Amino acid sequence: MTTMTIAKAINEGLRATLSNNPKSLLMGEDIGPLGGVYRVTDGLIAEFGADRVVDTPLAESGIVGTAIGLALRGYLPVCEIQFDGFVFPGFNQITTQLAKMHSRSSGNLTVPVVIRIPYGGGIGSIEHHSESPEALFAHTAGLRIITPSNPHDAYWMIQQAVDCQDPVIVFEPKRRYWLKGEVDTEAAGLAEDPFKAHIVREGTDATVVVYGPLVPVALAAANAAAEDGRSVEVIDLRSISPIDFDAIEASVKKTGRLIVAHEAPTFGGIGGEIAARISERAFHSLEAPVIRVGGFHMPYPVAKVEEDYLPDIDRILEALDRTFAY
Amino acid sequence: MGATHLPSTEFDGTGLDDQLEAEAEAALGEPAAEMVQLLGPDGTLGTDPVFSEYAERLDAEKLRGFYADMAAIRRFDQEATALQRQGQLALWVPLTGQEAAQIGSGRASQPQDYIFPTYREHGVALTRNVDLAELLRQFRGISNGGWNPKDTNFHLYTLVLAAQTPHAVGYAMGIQRDQRLAEANGLAESGTAEPKAAVMVYFGDGASSEGDVHESMVFASSYNAPVVFFCQNNHWAISVPTAVQTRIPLSNRAKGYGFPGIRVDGNDVIAVHAVTEWALEHARQGNGPVLIEAFTYRVGAHTTADDPTKYRESSEEALWRAKDPLERLEKYLRSEGMADDAFFEQVAADGNELAAYIRKSTYESDTPDIRTAFANTYVEAHPLVAEELAWFEEYSAGFAGEDTAEGAGN
């Protein structure tokens, strides 16, 4: 066991990938000598050279598009998109090309491309640097989407993404890059399957489903609720596509109440999908409607008011109050 | 390149093009791109200081082969159009007029090269030994591809314009890495290395406006990738003329990226072959990308759903029919005594045989099953796909026997 930050864990995961698989390579803007704007690729170009850690021209469609070509040639590219709000020039390549290549080739071609995207707010940044666009990608069949919330998961999930033969988008919770935790680099243990949700706190009265940056928030809210005598179960979704509905269903059948929280706007979001599916699967177990906590239907607001936009402990507690009121 | 190149303005399809190019010349203070041409519309072979030596390598058999290929793909094009009109295909994308650009370039490629087409490269598909019956599967609505690109190094058609251009550059970056790896492992010296390869990517004058072309050329130039950008300027992006896409010859754009750009008479199969052979070898030898602009014309409609009478004069089409790629090669072959009536009769008979094969294969093609789509959405097991498939099977089972009952009732 080693203690490290999420950023360092991804760095070590990428180092392991580059060491273990000669066909893997990293590509992105400023990922070479600078080590990426978040230093996630720090030191890797010195160790693996410019053919394996590629500083690209400033062009996201070009990054994803050339990664697809490299994958068709048998390589395993890991692309870094500098910020969530800058993925959109590459959106066409991701949704019309990357996601569909296996399907449209009748299964003859595979494009195991990984795309890393730092996402989410809470860092006081300027516009386009704090967004949570995961639902836009989750709606596209052919992609897998995962998001680690702690260093151990981060270390293993980035490697599992590279090993996966499908394209995988890894949303990295940027405001938690410096969150420290223990990493077992010898064994994945519970993190063996990146597409399974984890119960990170057991409870009996209500279930709160979160992922990425909101996992610590939900845990804090559950602790606060415990002081009021409420036993809240917290699930870290980990995978946004596919979603581990079995885990959520089992929890809801135990607790009877479900809250889904994410930074992304609630409208058309992952929370709505979970609410609909769980209503179908566990209707008779639900004591209250599924409640969503998330961003508002507006462009991500300016940094000085993002506190009012982002779901925090109180927003989750308010949702818990509402569910218990039924 | 040389003094013998005819100025492109002589070959422009419209007066508007001439005017715009003259304006561009005046604005840039440089002449419009000269065009490489070896075999003129009158069927006489000219010379070129750089490319004549490539033409000299072509013996009578090769030239007859070019003609046979062009005639075959034109016959195929007619047959596919007919199949669409009969309701056998949902849509067809005709290539008539562009045979020389496609056969000349495709025949210049080698098996180890990888080709990324857009969606009109039926002629290139022929040169890569793609089964043309399989190619029609996409247009019949029974597949999104139809052939396995790994068999022929001819990628699937890409319908999102220019989206395949960065794929080509990435593939070329992969070739570079493979070669460096082989060199590092000493395979090159031992003679066991794979033959050097390049990538060729096709797009049109319309797609040249897409950002992906720009990004691809930047990447290709930055990494000196072995890729040939083959632009068929067929003068019309559905209804919009080239002049709306560019104010300078497209081949001149290469200069801005720092690699060679060549405009070639796209209706001259000998020149197209020569220029492409040169460009692919240039790329294979590690000298970086090349842009080829094949100056040609889409004689027919954009697709079977298009109506060119809405946007262009038939006189313009007539002007280009006079530059027909097949006719000029026929004139040349006959005048040089390389082919006689018997040859052309055989080509026509072969074309009819191909058409019959295409017709039969289309009529007999299988009906797809949506279960294939479930199976191919992901490589690895996916719980949502499994759940939806299970639901679909249960739902479908509810209709078991109904088809038979209806049939009996009728």
pLDDT of residue A16: 98
Strands B240-241 and A239-241: unpaired
**What tokens were used for B340?**
């006689």
Model confidence at B186, in pLDDT bands (50, 70, 90)? Answer: confident
Chain length of chain A:
326
Contact between B160 and A59 using a beta-carbon 8 Å cutoff = no
pLDDT of residue B110: 98
Residue of B160, B177, B257 best to disrupt the A interface, most CBs of A under 10 A: B177
Radius of gyration of chain B (CA): 23
Over the stretch B42-83, which tens digit does the pLDDT of each residue have?
999 999 999 999 999 999 999 999 999 999 999 999 999 999
> How far is Cα A133 from Cα B377, in angstroms, rounded to an integer?
22
**What tokens were used for A105?**
């080739």
* A129 in catalytic set: yes
**What tokens were used for B39?**
């075999």
From A129, A152, A198, A262, the catalytic residue: A129
Supply the ipTM of this predicted assembly.
0.97
**What tokens were used for B179?**
């070669």
Mean of per-residue pLDDT scores for chain B: 91
Evaluated on CA atoms A56, A74, A79, B164, the torsion sign reads positive
Contact between B379 and A89 using a beta-carbon 8 Å cutoff = no
Judged against a pLDDT cut of 70, whether residue B12 lies above it is answered with no
> How far is Cα A254 from Cα A203, in angstroms, rounded to an integer?
9
Question: pTM of the prediction?
Answer: 0.94
On the question of a cis peptide bond just before residue A57, with omega within 30 degrees of 0, the verdict is: no
> How far is Cα B118 from Cα B217, in angstroms, rounded to an integer?
17
The closest of B123, B74, B57, B67 to B338, measured between CA atoms, is B67
pLDDT of residue B145: 86
Chain A hits for B155, CB-CB cut-off 8 Å, are 72
Judged against a pLDDT cut of 70, whether residue B30 lies above it is answered with no
DSSP secondary structure, B130-194, as one string: --HHHHHHHHHTS-S--S-HHHHTBPPP--STTTHHHHHHHHHHHHHHHHHHHHHTTHHHHT-SP
pLDDT of residue A266: 98
Over the stretch B77-86, which tens digit does the pLDDT of each residue have?
999 999 999 9
> How far is Cα A148 from Cα A145, in angstroms, rounded to an integer?
10
Contacts A–B by Cβ distance under 8 A: 143
Contact between B148 and A66 using a beta-carbon 8 Å cutoff = no
H or E, element range at B405? helix B402-409
Those residues with Cβ within 8 angstroms of residue B156's Cβ, 6 or more apart along the chain or in another chain:
A104, A105, A109, B144, B145, B147, B149
Chain B hits for A166, CB-CB cut-off 8 Å, are 378-380
The closest of B246, B12, B202 to B101, measured between CA atoms, is B202
Chain A hits for B174, CB-CB cut-off 8 Å, are 69-70, 72-75
The closest of B357, B330, B354 to B344, measured between CA atoms, is B330
Contact between B212 and A71 using a beta-carbon 8 Å cutoff = no
More confident residue, B32 or B145: B145
Residue with tokens 């992304």: A264
Over the stretch B216-272, which tens digit does the pLDDT of each residue have?
999 999 999 999 999 999 999 999 999 999 999 999 999 999 999 999 999 999 999
Those residues with Cβ within 8 angstroms of residue A59's Cβ, 6 or more apart along the chain or in another chain:
A89, B215, B218, B219
Chain length of chain B:
410
CB-facing half-sphere around the CA of B169: CA atoms within 13 A:
31
Q: In what order do the strands lie in the sheet with B227-233?
A: B6-7, B34-36, B261-265, B290-295, B227-233, B199-204, B114-116
Over the stretch B139-180, which tens digit does the pLDDT of each residue have?
999 999 889 999 999 999 999 999 999 999 999 999 999 999
More confident residue, B349 or B4: B349
pLDDT of residue B3: 35
Over the stretch B194-206, which tens digit does the pLDDT of each residue have?
889 999 999 999 9
Three-point CA angle B261, B27, B316, nearest 5°? 70
Contact between B379 and A141 using a beta-carbon 8 Å cutoff = no
Three-point CA angle A64, A67, A73, nearest 5°? 150
Residue with tokens 């794929």: B167
More confident residue, A59 or B13: A59
Those residues with Cβ within 8 angstroms of residue B368's Cβ, 6 or more apart along the chain or in another chain:
B142, B143
Judged against a pLDDT cut of 50, whether residue B120 lies above it is answered with yes
pLDDT of residue B28: 46
Evaluated on CA atoms B73, B74, B79, B82, the torsion sign reads positive
Q: What is the pLDDT along chain A (326 residues), one digit of tens a residue?
A: 999 999 999 999 999 999 999 999 999 999 999 999 999 999 999 999 999 999 999 999 999 999 999 999 999 999 999 999 999 999 999 999 999 999 999 999 999 999 999 999 999 999 999 999 999 999 999 999 999 999 999 999 999 999 999 999 999 999 999 999 999 999 999 999 999 999 999 999 999 999 999 999 999 999 999 999 999 999 999 999 999 999 999 999 999 999 999 999 999 999 999 999 999 999 999 999 999 999 999 999 999 999 999 999 999 999 999 999 99
pLDDT of residue B34: 86
Those residues with Cβ within 8 angstroms of residue B352's Cβ, 6 or more apart along the chain or in another chain:
B75
Residue with tokens 């262009």: B312
